[in-house]
Structure formats: C-alpha cells, structure tokens
Amino acid sequence: MSVETGSRYRVHPALRSMPIDASRVEISAPFGTKRLRFAREIGARLERLSIEPSFARETLVKAVGTVIFEALVKYHFVLPEDASPALIGGLCVPTAQPAGQPLSVFDIETLCAGDAVLLHAPIQTTANSSVSVAAGGQRVRSQLAQSLRHPLGGDGQGVVIDLDFGAILHTKNLRLFDLGDVSFRPSMDSAQDVGERLRYVCRRIVESGGRPIVLGGDHAQAFYSIDALADRYPHLGVLQFDAHPDLYAMGAPCDAELNHANVMHWIRRMKHVASIWQVGVRDFFHQPTLNLRCEADTKIQSLSAFEAETQGYGRLLAQMDRSLPWFISFDVDALSHADFPQTTTPVLGGLSFYRLLACFEQLLSTFDIVGMEFVEIGDADHGAHDAAAVAARLVSRYLFHLGGAGPHGSFVYTPAP
C-alpha cells in the first residue's frame, strides 16, 4: 500500500503499547489486524509523540528511522493529519470462511492486474423493514466459498467446472482474494464511517489494478464504491441493475440526505461518471412535483424489465459505450424472484435468471468490466434459488472470464487405477 504523501501526521489515538520483555514492546490498535514489535526506546519515543496533536514527517523519521516510519504509516499506527476519522476504526476484519484466498488489507499492493478482490460492506442507511440488508452480502460469499472450495478441504489439487457454459478454470487462474468485512463497530460507527472505509479500500484495490467485488449493504454504498473509482477511471460507465431507478426526490428536507433510494442523484453528478444505464426498472408510483425541478439528464438511459423480458437485452448491448470501462452496480431486487425477505423492497415482475446470465456473458466478453457490487440482499437464508445464490453465480462468471477459462470438452474425471 502506498505511503500517504501528506507531510504531517498524528499517532493513532487508541494505539496500545505492551511490553513483551525487558527490551521490546508490541504495538496494536483496536480493530486493527496488525501488531508490530520494536525496541522499548522506539516505543517510548512514539509515546512521547502521541501527545502532540500533529507533527512533521521529519520529526517522526528522526525519532524512529525511515523503515519504522514507513511501517507505522503503512499499518495505520500513524495517520496522516487529514486522514478521515473513519480510518481510526480499522478498515477490514478478516472473515473465518473467505471465498478464494484471504488477503490482508495491508497487502493490497501485492495484487496483480485483473485480480478479483471480494469484500463485504455492512452499510445500511435506512432501517424501515423487519429484515436487514446490512449483512446479506455475507450469504453471497458463503455460496461462492462453498462452490469454489476443494471438497476434501485444504489446498488439494483441482479445477473448477461450469456445466452451464462447458467451461473449465484451473485453480491457479482463479485469482480471487477476500479482504473480509469492512469494519463496523455497532453503536460507534455511522453508515458514513463504513462508507468511507469502503471508499478508501476500493481506491487502493483499483490503484493496484484489482477488480473490486463489493457485497452490500444497501444501495447507498454505491456512492462510496463508485466515487472510489474516480482517479483510476476518469471516464466510467455505471451499469445499474435495479427494480428502482434510485432517483427518488420528495421536494422535502430528506432529499439532502444520502440513502438507498436517492443514491443515483449523487452518482449522476460525479464528474467521472460518463454514462449510466439502468436495467430492470419497473413499477408505477406517485412522484411529487412541488419544490422539484424536472430536468433532462442525458447521462442516464434505461432498459426496463418489461423490455428486457419481452424483447431482450439487445438495445442495451448495442448502445452501451464500448470505449468506457464499466462498473456493475447490481441491486438484487432487479431479479424476478427476489421477494421479501430475500430483499426488502421487492417489486412485481423482474429479470429472469437465464436471460440475465446470457446478458452477463455478452457484457463480460465484449466490455471492460472493472468491478461489480451486489446490494440489498436480505439477511436470511432462502436456499439454492435465492438472490444471494444468483449474485454468487454472476460473480462466478466474472471469475471465469477474468481467469481465461477454457472449454471443458467431454472429459470425465475417473478414479485412477
């Protein structure tokens, strides 16, 4: 991870220092995943600096040396003065059952271009339903982990086979890494804190050439995940699958607050977002007009669920700008069978699985898809056909495409004599 370029720093306010023996101390931070050991004298110098509101880079380098300085900054024991307070709560917490290989947030810089990086962001901006969507993304991870795992466990040899597409992916080409869950401290953190951590981590992933796969959380997370792509992709397309356009406006003070129903207003105003396609939108509703302006936004185009299901995805695939990199923001309520409590705002109708899968094949083979997210997944298990299973299936196709999977042929794996 690149060291911050800011010139003034402060010590993490909750940094802990524990003596290990007569000559060494170990430092750690709550919710951090890293511990470092130093000579006691270094620990004492750090402690003296911790009472300063901020200090110059040179002061710290002089006190601890360049190598230790860089380690302290890399692992967030020392923060840039202007770092978001969200960083203090840690970034990602490793998960017990990762999909793919576990990756520490501090090792993102070791990624290769095209590596897929999974993480779950427990963002929830509105809780007006008995079912939570905060942790639903973990179900997508479990589904994926279950399908990708070697049946005998461990690091046994194997290949991944996709029967729908007659394809085979060698596990050495399965470059999927799991950062775990974005840190969330109940009763301490807001959705914005989690969002800022998500933005920070996503920015690092794309800087390193990785492809983020973000599992939500509600759709407000798109504000952070898509904003994070701005430097790496100054002209970006956003392909939103959703029953709702998420462009709701009431002409009331609530319009000023980011939530899962209005997030696309924020995204359409982002400079780097050059085009937005909304796919699967449907239903009818009463739109207030008082205190609101009706304007044309040429960035936004849509393919309704009715068109997708009755005429196919042809117009979308023909009209999406092929010169742009695209990020897929997938709200599972786009799906025809996503009903309560698999998602919290289900809508009659929707996209059917195999037509959608075929559309994904076209997207993955003819467009540069730089990452994707799946949001609004209810935190309840509904088995093999639920929204989380569909999301995991779509992610599996992304992995096969990124890994350059080949044809399976008519081989049968048979017990060796």
Judged by the rule CB under 5 A, the positions of this chain that interact with Mn ion are 219, 242, 246, 331
CA dist., res. 31 & res. 76, Å (int) = 11
Nearer to Mn ion among residue 193 and residue 242 (C-beta): 242
Nearer to Mn ion among residue 193 and residue 246 (C-beta): 246
Please give the sequence-ordered ranges of beta strands (E in DSSP) within 183-234, or none if there are none.
211-215
Please give the sequence-ordered ranges of beta strands (E in DSSP) within 223-324, or none if there are none.
236-241, 273-281, 300-304
Nearer to Mn ion among residue 178 and residue 227 (C-beta): 227
Q: What is the CA radius of gyration of the chain?
A: 23
Least Å distance, CB 264 to Mn ion, is 8
129: its two tokens: 């339903």
Beta bridge mates, 24: 39
Unique residue bearing structure tokens 């993480």 = 119
Nearer to Mn ion among residue 60 and residue 347 (C-beta): 347
Neighbours of 285 (CB within 10 A): 7
CA dist., res. 246 & res. 240, Å (int) = 10
CA dist., res. 201 & res. 244, Å (int) = 27
Least Å distance, CB 203 to Mn ion, is 23
HSE-CB of 42 using CA atoms within 13 angstroms? 21
Nearer to Mn ion among residue 111 and residue 390 (C-beta): 390
Least Å distance, CB 176 to Mn ion, is 25
Nearer to Mn ion among residue 242 and residue 379 (C-beta): 242
Least Å distance, CB 219 to Mn ion, is 4
CA dist., res. 309 & res. 334, Å (int) = 12
Least Å distance, CB 265 to Mn ion, is 12
Least Å distance, CB 49 to Mn ion, is 45
Least Å distance, CB 160 to Mn ion, is 30
Nearer to Mn ion among residue 178 and residue 242 (C-beta): 242
Least Å distance, CB 124 to Mn ion, is 13
At residue 170, φ and ψ (nearest 5 deg) are: -70, 140
Nearer to Mn ion among residue 178 and residue 331 (C-beta): 331
Least Å distance, CB 221 to Mn ion, is 10
Beta bridge mates, 135: none
CA dist., res. 12 & res. 246, Å (int) = 38
Nearer to Mn ion among residue 115 and residue 242 (C-beta): 242
Question: How does DSSP assign 59-95, residue by residue?
Answer: HHHHHH-HHHHHHHHHTTSEEETT--GGGGG-SEE--
Nearer to Mn ion among residue 197 and residue 219 (C-beta): 219
CA dist., res. 393 & res. 140, Å (int) = 9
CB < 8 Å & 24+ apart, contacts of 83-87: 83/4, 83/6, 84/196, 84/200, 85/193, 86/189, 86/192, 86/193, 86/194, 86/195, 86/196, 86/197, 86/200, 87/196, 87/197, 87/200
CA dist., res. 201 & res. 114, Å (int) = 16
Least Å distance, CB 373 to Mn ion, is 11
